[in-house]
Structure 1
Amino acid sequence: MTDEQAGGEKKLPKIGRVDAAAILLMSLGEADAAQILKHMGPKEVQRVGTAMTQLADVTQEQVEAVTSQFLEAVGDQTGMGIGADDYIRTMLTQALGEDKASSLIDRILIGGNTTGLDTLKWMESRSVADIIRYEHPQIQAIVVSYLDPDQAAEVLTNFDEKVRLDIVMRVAALDAVHPQALQELNAILEKQFSGSSSTKTSKIGGIKRAADIMNFLDSSVEGELMDSIKEVDADLGGEIEDLMFVFDNLKDVDDRGIQALLREVSSDVLIIALKGSDDEMKEKIFKNMSKRAAELLRDDLEAKGPVKLSEVEGSQKDILTIARRMADAGEISLGGAGEEMI
C-alpha cells in the first residue's frame, strides 16, 4: 500500500526555499512575477534569478508542492484579526533577517519607492565609487555603511589605501545618523536617479559593520588595511579583528553546519582551500565526511602539487561566501568570532 493510498493524500517532495520561490514565480507568469520581484532587494533578486536559470524539467508534482507550501504558510499566518503590517514585518524578518528586511519593510509599509541610497545597491561598485569619490569622507562612510558588506568591500577597492583607511575608520566610529541627515543625502542622490522617498533608518555603521566589510576584501588588501588601522588605533584594530569571520573560524561551526556546508562546496575548491589549512581544520572536515569520501580527499590533498597562496585564499573566500549566504538564510549558524550569539 502506497503513502497516497494509505493517507488519501499524495506525499509532496521537499524543496529548498530559494528553489521554491523560483518555481512559484515562474508559475505565476511574467507580469505577476515582475510585481513581486520589484519589491525585493538586489541580493534576493540575484539569488532567485540564478535559481530560475538553473531550473530544468520542473515536474507538476514540484509545482504542486511549492503551491501547497505557500498556501499553507499564508493560511497559518494571515488569519482574521492579524494585522497585515505585523504579518509583513514578521514574514520578511524571518525570510531575510532583521538587517536585510528593515529597508524593504520601510519601503513597503511606508509606501515609498526605492530611496537614493537603496538605488546604489543595484549599481556596479565602480559606479558607486565614482558617485561618492568627491564627497566629504563622512558621506562616503555613510554610503559604504549602508551598502551590503560584499558590495561595500568592492567599492572600497576602487579607492587608494589612504582613502580606504579613512573610510573604514569612520565606518567603525559610526553609530547612529539622524534621519534628517539621511533624508538630505537621499534627496541629493535622488536628483541623479529621479526617485523620491524618505527613510526612517538611522542606525548604521559601527565596528561590526566595519568587520563585515573587511571580511569581503581580498586578503592582501585586508591585511594592509588592518595594519594601517592598528597603526592609528591598535585597540580598534583588535576589536574589528575579533569580529571578523575568517576561514579558520569554520572550526567553531558545529558538525551539522559543516556537513551542510560541504554539500554546497565543490571538491576542487575544497582541496585548494585545505592546502593552506592546518591539521586541525583538515580533521574538522574529514570527520564530517563519510569514511570513503574522507579517504579520497586525503589522497587528493597528498597528490595535489604546490598551489599559489592567492589560489588558496581565493578558494577559502569562495567557501566563506557560501557559509555567509547559508547563515543569512538560517541554514547554518556560524558562531565564533563573526557572529554574535544570543
Structure 2
Amino acid sequence: MATDPSKRPGPEQVAIFLMSVGEGAAADVLKHMGPKEVQKIGTAMASLERVSRTDIDYVLKRFSETAMEHTSLGIGAEDYVRSVLNSALGEDKASGLIDRILLGRNSKGLEALKWLDPRAIAEMIRHEHPQIVAIVLSHLDADQAAETLSYLPDRMQSDIVLRIATLDGVQPAALHELDEILERQLSGKNTAKSSMVGGVKTAADILNFMDASQSTNVMSGVTQVDEDLGERIQELMFVFESLVDVDDRGIQTLLREISTDSLVLALKGADDALKDKIFKNMSKRAAEMLREDLEAKGPVRLSDVEGAQKEILAVARRLSESGDIVLGGAGGEQMV
C-alpha cells in the first residue's frame, strides 16, 4: 500500500526534495545545515524506497507554499518560486510542474475534476469547444484523461488529441472560459503568465492509456491532419512492443510483478523479438514452461490480449515512476 506523502517524517520529505533537485543543488543546501541535520537527512536518503511521483509532487508543492509564505520583501512570490525551482530542477523538468503548482493554488475546479468518474467528466465537457476540452484533459492524470477521452464521440477524439499536442500555453482569458465550464473560480490575473499544459508528451501519455484500437483510430485522424505531429506523438508513445527496449534487469524486475496468466495472454499478440526478450530473462525451466503454455493456449479474443498487455504496461509505468526500471525506446531518457 502506498504511503501517504503527508505522513512521511520530516527528514524523509527533505530527503525526497533534495534527491529531486539533483546533486549540485542538494549539496549547496546541505552546506547550510548542522551535523545532526545532515546525519538525519543522509540516513533518510539511504533508507528511501519506492518514492512515487505523488510523493515528489507533494514535497515540491509543500516547498513552494512554504517559500511563498517566507518570500523576501520586494520579490514576487510567483517569480520567486519559478526562479528557485527552475534553478533546482532545470527549466525543462520544472516548467510543467511549476505551472501546475502555481495554477493549482486557486484552481479548485480542476482539482475537483480529479475526484470525478471519467464518464461524468465526459458528460460535463462533451458540448464544449474542443480547445476547452483539450485544456481540461491536459490537467488530468493521463489514465483518467484517456478514459474520459474514450467516452467522447469518436469524431472529436482525433481533433482533441491534436489540440493537446499543440498546446503550449493557456492565457488568463482561456482560464476564465474554463472557469465557466467547471463553475468554479480560477485565478485569472491580467498579469498572469501562460500556464504550460498539454504538448506532444501529454498527448502520447493519454494515448498510451487508451485501448489499442481507439489509440490507432485517434492517431490515424491526427496523422491525416498533421503527419509530422503524428510521427512525433508516436515516437513518444510507449506501447507493449516497446518493452523489447527495456534492459534485462528491468525485464526481470517486471516479470516478478506480473502473473503468468497475464503474461501468456499478452504474449499471444507479441512479436518474436519481444518473446525472445522475455524468454532470455527467465530461467531455462521457466522459459520452457512459458513456451508450453503459449503453445497450449488456444485462440483468444483480441480484446483479452490487449487487456493483458495494458495491465502489464500499467505495472511497467508504476515501476518506472518508482525508479525500479527505466522504460527505454524513443520515449525513454538516455542513460549516460
Q: Give me the TM-score of the superposition, normalised by structure 2.
A: 0.70
- Name the structure 2 match of 1:184: 176
Return the offset for 1:270. Answer: 0.1
Match of 1:73 in 2: 12
What is the Cα deviation at residue 72 of structure 1? 6.3
Residue in 2 that maps onto 1:202: 195
Partners of 2:244 and 2:326 lie apart in 1 by 12
Which residue, 53, 57, 65 being the options, matches 1:96?
53
- Contact between 1:247 and 1:317, CA under 8 Å: does it hold in 2? yes
Show the 5 A alignment for 1:1-342: 18=1, 21=3, 36=6, 73=12, 95-96=52-53, 100=57, 104-105=61-62, 108-109=65-66, 112=105, 115-178=108-171, 180-181=172-173, 183-184=175-176, 187-188=179-180, 191=183, 202-341=195-334
1:336 aligned counterpart, secondary structure = coil
Q: Render the CA deviation track for 1:143-188: whole Å, top value 9, x for unaligned.
A: 111111111111111111221111111101101223x346535643
- Measure how far apart 1:203 and its partner are: 0.8
Q: Is the 8 A contact 1:176 1:203 kept in 2?
A: yes
Give the fraction of aligned pairs with identical amino acids, expressed as a percent: 47
TM superposition shift of 1:254: 0.6
Instruction: Name the residue aligned to 2:99.
Output: none
What is the distance in 2 between the residues matched to 1:141 and 1:75? 35
User: Cα–Cα, structure 1 residues 274 and 190, in superposed 2: closer, same or farther, change >3 Å?
Assistant: closer
Q: Aligned with 2:164: secondary structure? A: helix
Counterpart amino acid of residue 209 in structure 2: F
Cα distance per residue 1:178-226 (max 9 Å; x no partner): 3x3465356436645xx77789881111111111111111111111111
Q: Relative to structure 1, is the Cα distance of residues 159 and 245 closer, same or farther in structure 2, using a 3 angstrom cutoff? A: same
Runs of 4+ residues over 3 Å off in structure 1: 70-82, 97-114, 185-192, 195-201
Is the CA contact (8 Å cut-off) linking 1:171 and 1:205 kept in structure 2?
Answer: yes
Distance 1:190 1:163 in 2: 20
RMSD: 3.4
CA distance in 2, matches of 1:141, 1:157: 13
Give the conservation status (yes or no) of the 8 Å contact 2:176–2:186.
no
> Which sections of structure 2, spanning at least 5 residues, go unmatched?
19-28, 34-40, 70-104
Equivalenced residue count is: 270
Counterpart amino acid of residue 288 in structure 1: N
